[in-house]
Amino acid sequence: MPGLDLLLSNLLSPIVLAFALGIIAGFIKSELELPEPVLKLLAIYLLFSIGIKGGTELAAVSLGEVAPLLAAAAALTIGIPVAVFFTLRKIGRFDAANAAAVAAHYGSVSSVTFFASLSFAKAMNTPAEGYMTAVVAIMEWGVIIALLLGRWALGKEAGNSSMKSLALETLRGRGILLLTGGMVIGMLAGEKGWQQIAPFYDDIFRGMLMLFLLEMGMTAARQMHEFRKVGVFMTGFAIVTPILLGLVGTWIGHAAGLSVGGAFVLGAVCASASYIDAPAACRASLPQANPGIYLTASLGVTFPFNLLFGLPLYYQFALWLAR
């Protein structure tokens, strides 16, 4: 069965196995740990390399080619956090602060899931378009939409409440700064400039990603102990939501003219939930929200599900659409 072969191929890839090793290390409370400065350096390297490579690819295409995709990304940036927020408010009966915090995580993007999907697509010999970085940079702004919804629903200010302040908070985050800044550098340097730095930013990328996922596995294992704080509804939400968003995102990518790899990566990005930049924004803007809910759902449930089972599912759907 093609679907089963694809699942096994993903589960046995070095990247996923590194993540699984991290989970095992976390469960047995191993002494293994990566120092915080090393983790920050790995995150900077991964984000910057993706941005530079994406800018190089974007420089080779015309704006007319990517305009439909960027418009779709802008619509998803608004639509996903709004849908998540009102689903939790109406069906889950969540208070405004917690609903907005969860929407901020699912409306934003998991950079690591993005990295993993790029590697997955490349391993399947269907690499995604390089300008997908521009899509990720746009969709990082979903956290602002969610926080504004929370402020509106609460009916009062919580920290900085102006759109200008929220925009500045997001711009200061390393995700948008490194992705957007790297993209600009790649566009200005072009293919000739990329060749000068490719050995550092391309050849060793997967090795760096494995180290980062090793630590993410240990962190996810620690979050899994918090399942009792999330409850049955939220656990189901953290699995069903990425499936629905992943399939919709893949279909939109296909409709926008992306290749199999590109449509799959867009689906993976839509299905992902941030657990690096979004928690910091929520702690600052929605301090009354419970981290045991939004962080456990995004990192303890959605991230492992996407990495182990979601990516093969979205890729299989992209193949089906292409046929």
Q: Which residue has the higher pLDDT, 311 or 137?
A: 311
Cα 311 to Cα 316: distance, rounded to the nearest angstrom:
9
pLDDT of residue 175: 64
Q: What phi and psi values does residue 141 have, to the nearest 5 degrees?
A: -75, -5
pLDDT at 228: 67
What is the pLDDT, as a whole number, of residue 252? 95
Least confident of 100-104, 154-158, 180-184, 206-210: 154-158
**Domains in the chain: ranges and CATH:** 2-25+33-322 (1.20.1530)
Q: What DSSP string runs through 84-130?
A: HHHHHHHTS---HHHHHHHHHHHHS--HHHHHHHHHHHHHTT-PPPT
Residue 162 has pLDDT above 60, yes or no: no
Q: What is the mean pLDDT of residues 264-281?
A: 85
Per DSSP, 309 falls in state: I
Average pLDDT over all residues of the chain: 83
Residues whose CB is less than 8 angstroms from the CB of residue 248 and which lie 6 or more positions away in sequence, other chains included: 267, 270
d(CA 197, CA 66): 26
Q: Is the pLDDT of residue 284 over 90?
A: no
Write out 216-282 in H/E/C secondary structure: HHHHHHHHHCCHHHHHHHHHHHHHHHHHHHHHHHHHHHHHCCCCHHHHHHHHHHHHCCCCCHHHHHH
Q: Greater confidence, 279 or 198?
A: 198
How many secondary structure helices (H) and strands (E) does the chain include?
17, 0
| pLDDT reading at 147 higher than 80 | no
